[in-house]
Amino acid sequence: MFMGEEIHVFGNWFIIHFTENEGMAFGMSLGGNWGKLALSVFRIIAIIGLFWYIFKLIRENASTGYVVCLTLIATGATGNLLDSAFYGLIFNESFYQVATLFPAEGGYASFLHGRVVDMFYFPIIQGYWPSWMPFIGGADYQFFRPVFNIADSSITVGVIALLIFFRNIAFKESKKEEEIIEKSIQE
């Protein structure tokens, strides 16, 4: 597919929409090549730290659900990292053309400087803000405008599940520490 090309899967509410972003949420980027490199290095460190923590939890027989949530986040982050690391090396630009795999002239970016491919688009509700609303009255409104990929979904599901089912884990650990400190003070 070329940049911006769409395939309507279910009417106008589930669309495969080919786009690329610089690797941050909602297409945000950090300034230029150094910003992209800093983002990639940060991701590598965060992923290594997260997998180390997951393996530590597994050795300690932590809750399976908690481990699964963290694994969803870590694997999603890894998927986006791999996409930005290698996509630019093995494809040429996809603006106004279908990108070529392993082009003779090389890819459009160097290692860790590629873009992340996003494709899922769910513009579920579309309309206009009421004219009486200040600043945004009459402007176009669309519920769920972001275009995302499977890795983004994995991260989102992991974070939401953590917030819903395991938000007290951090507080429980700090309460245990407080109880230990109180007992040692009382003795």
Catalytic residue numbers read 118, 152
CB 106 within 8 A of CB 29: no
Neighbours of 154 (CB within 10 A): 20
Q: For residues 69 and 157, give the distance between their C-alpha atoms in angstroms, rounded to a whole number.
A: 8
What burial letters (b/e) apply to 46-64, b meaning 16+ CB within 10 Å?
A: ebeebbeebeebeeeeeee
With a CB cutoff of 8 Å and minimum separation 6, the contacts of 28 are 22
